[in-house]
Amino acid sequence: MAHHWPVGLDQLAYGGDYNPEQWPEHVWQEDVRLMREAGVTMVSVGIFSWALLETERGVYDFGWLDRLLDLLHENGIRVDLGTPTVVPPAWFYREHPEALPVGREGVRYEFGGRGAICHSSPAYRQAAASITEQLGRRYGSHPALALWHVHNEYGVPVSACYCEASAEDFRQWLAARYTTLKELNEAWGTAFWGQHYNRWDDIRPPRLTPTACNPAQQLDFARFTSDTILENFKRERDILHRLAPGIPVTTNFMTALSQCESLDYWAWGREVDLVTNDHYLVAEAERNHVNLAMSADLTRSVAGGRPWLLLEHSTGAVNWQPRNLVKQPGEMARNSLAHVARGSDGAMFFQWRASRYGAEKFHSAMLPHAGTDSRIWREVVALGASLGSLGAVRGSRVEADAAILWDWQSWWAQKLEWRPSVELDARERADAWYAAAYDRHLTVDFAHPESDLSRYPLVLVPALYLTTEAAGINLTEYVREGGTLAVSYFSGIVDEHDAVHAGPHPGALRDVLGLTVEEFAPLRADQQVRLVGDGPELTGDGWSEFVVPRGADPVWTYADGPAAGHPAVTRHALGGGRAWYVSSRLNGTHLDTVLGRAIADAGLTTPELPRDVEVVERTGEHGRYLFAINHTAAAARVPLPGSGTELLTGTPVSGHLDVPGNTTRVVHL
């Protein structure tokens, strides 16, 4: 049985990707000296080293990695060892050019960057298994080894491949899902546009078509892609489990919805020993700490609530955005501690030492080009000391106040062509509803629509276009048993094959919401609608509907626009609970007003705190840890439910906590 935490690491994880192969070996001595100065506890190595480790098929050079691991071990730094399978070497493609992936347009990508992989290629699978086996044998019992880091960020920069090998693989996946062609034809609705299949061989990946390609075919291909890549992860994982029993295996996720779209992380989260995540701020976005919090909550949720680990973020600017803004003084520490507050047992970076050459030479690092006489280095050393004083937090858990439902498959389905309006955007709604909860200082988990929701007093559904019948029943039961549900428009519409549920919209959610939708009424680009009713007047845009109550009570009604006179926001009392429905796009205070009603129905109270003072708690065997992260420039005072010790300053506190501007405080209660 593998562990769920890096072996031999008895503190929070602090460090980064370390690529010493880019430097002469004398530099390594300076690296480890500075790592110790900064309080680094673990580094990730070997992620991109395949070409150096296996120089031609079956010809190996492990000497440098042997020396590196020994050096790190002598210096007490734990190792997260990569399998380098994200970058097959040039010799591999010389032998197997067919393993380069093909895009939807039929164009084959070339060697020269990274991640050029057809995950259905038998040659790739075999070569990846082989180098993994070599590493497992050689380092499986090395004393420095704490964690295996398989591949790197599966799912980006390309995930799907449309080549012939992938086509064959897709057909096999379909044959396992639909035992007969009859079933497949029904599931894909091939009666539409005459797409009936008589032979399995005729089925292809959804390559470029003159007009919209069959949506059920596209949706299944997206599922196939996530599943196929996951099989490749599992193959490497199983080799490592066999050769290095007890050493946990991870692969770094990118749960931020803006960073990887193609993996169903609910399925992936079950397969890793430790969930790890990479998160990069959208530098120019306002309040990007909200997106950070959302990604951290989503990561904890795919980890099933267990502690997880932030494996990469940046000390300062990245190099791949249009304008790579610096982080403000203290921002790196706030970012790091915000991840820790939400369940990460450490904070790691890309990367340790800035590269002199290659595509990422303008990316920030823990040790920047400017060297140690730099703001970033001083902040790196200070952060190491802060994390060093938070060791007790390790293993404690976050208890959420509410859940937000999220389903990658529903997102994939909604993003396909020809929806009723381009304004329908699942990610946009998820961001908006998450921000509304964040602004109320509610801590939320994300949950799968078919999961057990009974522990949450409040469940929010910002976007669930694809809702299975089972999910609909689950939500109905949840409300009957006393839960409070709030659902946004364009949810409950189609089944798992992107077919409209029989009868009026929103098929899967009609019963629980107590209403039907007679017609969708999308708004013009610049149109706004007024909602009047029991409370302040609200403004919506983007979308409206002809809502027909069938048990639900109208709470706000459209005063104008195409749906004038129809209910706009409704509340349905059902069993011991109630279900709210919001049929237009509300933002800011308008959304807050409506969700505030649902929050009150759920019996939740929300603290009076400035909007950007983030307060999150973790609970462990030895007590509670209250994190207060002040993203504003002004000092803030946070009420405390008792007394305790502020861990970063070692000061006793009681009754309240003063948090200087742009600073974090952590109280052990």
Give the residue with the Cβ less far from ligand GAL, 324 or 451: 324
Distance of CA 360 to the CA centre of its chain: 23
Q: Given its phi and psi angles, is residue 387 left (phi above 0), alpha (psi -120 to 50 degrees) or beta? A: alpha
Name the phi and psi angles at 619, rounded to 5.
-125, 130
Q: How far apart are CA 541 and CA 260, in angstroms?
A: 28
Minimum CB–partner distance for residue 265 and ligand GAL (Å): 15
Of 134, 152, 301, 468, which one interacts with ligand GAL (CB under 6 A)? 152
> Is 318 a residue that touches ligand GAL (CB under 6 A)?
yes
> Is 159 a residue that touches Zn ion (CB under 5 A)?
no
Q: How far apart are CA 6 and CA 4, in angstroms?
A: 7
> Is 131 a residue that touches Zn ion (CB under 5 A)?
no
Give the residue with the Cβ less far from ligand GAL, 354 or 659: 354
> Is 19 a residue that touches Zn ion (CB under 5 A)?
no
For residue 72, give every residue at least 6 positions away whose Cβ sits within 8 Å of its Cβ, in sequence order, or none. Answer: 32, 43, 45, 78, 79, 144
Task: Give me the 97-126 binding string for Zn ion, x by CB under 5 A, dash otherwise.
Answer: ---------------------x-x------
> Is 153 a residue that touches ligand GAL (CB under 6 A)?
yes
Quick one: tokens of 582? 């919001």
Of 85, 132, 152, 166, which one interacts with Zn ion (CB under 5 A)? 166
Of 169, 236, 278, 439, which one interacts with ligand GAL (CB under 6 A)? 278
Q: How far apart are CA 349 and CA 17, in angstroms?
A: 6
Minimum CB–partner distance for residue 272 and Zn ion (Å): 24
Name the phi and psi angles at 294, rounded to 5.
-65, -45
Minimum CB–partner distance for residue 434 and ligand GAL (Å): 22
Residue in the shown chain whose Cβ atom is closest to ligand GAL: 350
SS3 168: helix
Minimum CB–partner distance for residue 96 and Zn ion (Å): 11
Name the phi and psi angles at 617, rounded to 5.
-120, 145
Q: What is the CA radius of gyration of the chain?
A: 26
- 161 touches which of ligand GAL, Zn ion, none (CB within 5 to 8 A by kind)? Zn ion
- 363 touches which of ligand GAL, Zn ion, none (CB within 5 to 8 A by kind)? ligand GAL
Minimum CB–partner distance for residue 156 and ligand GAL (Å): 7
CB 139 within 8 A of CB 69: yes
CB 401 within 8 A of CB 442: yes
Q: How far apart are CA 575 and CA 646, in angstroms?
A: 45
Q: How far apart are CA 236 and CA 532, in angstroms?
A: 58
> Is 315 a residue that touches ligand GAL (CB under 6 A)?
no
Which run of H or E residues covers position 233?
helix 215-243
Active-site annotation, residues: 153, 312
> Is 477 a residue that touches ligand GAL (CB under 6 A)?
no
Which run of H or E residues covers position 55?
strand 54-56
> Is 598 a residue that touches Zn ion (CB under 5 A)?
no
Tell me which DSSP letter residue 588 carries.
H
Of 350, 377, 406, 434, which one interacts with ligand GAL (CB under 6 A)? 350
Minimum CB–partner distance for residue 87 and Zn ion (Å): 17
Please count the helices (runs of H) and the strands (runs of E) in the chain. Answer: 17, 27
Give the residue with the Cβ less far from Zn ion, 165 or 332: 165
Q: Per CB under 5 A, which region of 154-162, 446-454, 564-572, 591-599 contacts Zn ion?
A: 154-162
Q: Per CB under 5 A, which region of 13-21, 65-73, 156-164, 623-631 contacts Zn ion?
A: 156-164
- 18 touches which of ligand GAL, Zn ion, none (CB within 5 to 8 A by kind)? none
Of 312, 331, 445, 511, which one interacts with ligand GAL (CB under 6 A)? 312
For residue 651, give every residue at least 6 positions away whose Cβ sits within 8 Å of its Cβ, in sequence order, or none. Answer: 645
Minimum CB–partner distance for residue 251 and ligand GAL (Å): 11
Of 119, 353, 363, 419, which one interacts with ligand GAL (CB under 6 A)? 363
Q: What does the H/E/C string look like for 270-296?
A: CCCCCCEEECCCCCCCCCHHHHHHHHH
How many residues sit in the footprint of ligand GAL (CB under 6 A)?
Answer: 9
Among candidate residues 589, 580, 523, 585, the one with its CA nearest the CA of residue 554: 580
- 617 touches which of Zn ion, ligand GAL, none (CB within 5 to 8 A by kind)? none
Give the residue with the Cβ less far from ligand GAL, 44 or 467: 44
Give the residue with the Cβ less far from Zn ion, 228 or 335: 228
In one letter, which amino acid is 80?
Answer: D
> Is 163 a residue that touches Zn ion (CB under 5 A)?
yes
Which run of H or E residues covers position 531?
strand 528-533
Minimum CB–partner distance for residue 401 and ligand GAL (Å): 31
Minimum CB–partner distance for residue 149 and ligand GAL (Å): 10
Of 50, 124, 188, 280, which one interacts with ligand GAL (CB under 6 A)? 280
Give the residue with the Cβ less far from ligand GAL, 259 or 488: 259
A 10 A CB-CB count for 600 gives 13
In one letter, which amino acid is 128?
Answer: A
- 118 touches which of Zn ion, ligand GAL, none (CB within 5 to 8 A by kind)? Zn ion
Minimum CB–partner distance for residue 251 and Zn ion (Å): 20
Burial (CB < 10 A; 0-12, 13-18, 19+), residue 321, is: middle
Minimum CB–partner distance for residue 625 and ligand GAL (Å): 29
Give the residue with the Cβ less far from Zn ion, 120 or 226: 120
> Is 352 a residue that touches ligand GAL (CB under 6 A)?
no
Give the residue with the Cβ less far from ligand GAL, 308 or 489: 308
Of 144, 161, 424, 647, which one interacts with Zn ion (CB under 5 A)? 161
- 166 touches which of ligand GAL, Zn ion, none (CB within 5 to 8 A by kind)? Zn ion
Concatenated DSSP letters of 545-580: EEEEESSPEEEEEE-SSTTTTSEEEEEEEETTEEEE
CB 422 within 8 A of CB 449: no
Tell me which DSSP letter residue 159 carries.
-
In one letter, which amino acid is 20?
Answer: P
Give the residue with the Cβ less far from ligand GAL, 44 or 557: 44
Minimum CB–partner distance for residue 320 and ligand GAL (Å): 6
Q: How far apart are CA 53 and CA 67, in angstroms?
A: 13
- 152 touches which of Zn ion, ligand GAL, none (CB within 5 to 8 A by kind)? ligand GAL
A 10 A CB-CB count for 96 gives 17
Burial (CB < 10 A; 0-12, 13-18, 19+), residue 344, is: buried
CB 251 within 8 A of CB 309: no
- 312 touches which of Zn ion, ligand GAL, none (CB within 5 to 8 A by kind)? ligand GAL
CB 150 within 8 A of CB 237: yes
Q: Which residues bind ligand GAL (CB under 6 A)?
A: 152-153, 278, 280, 312, 318, 350, 360, 363
Q: Which residues bind Zn ion (CB under 5 A)?
A: 118, 120, 161, 163, 165-166
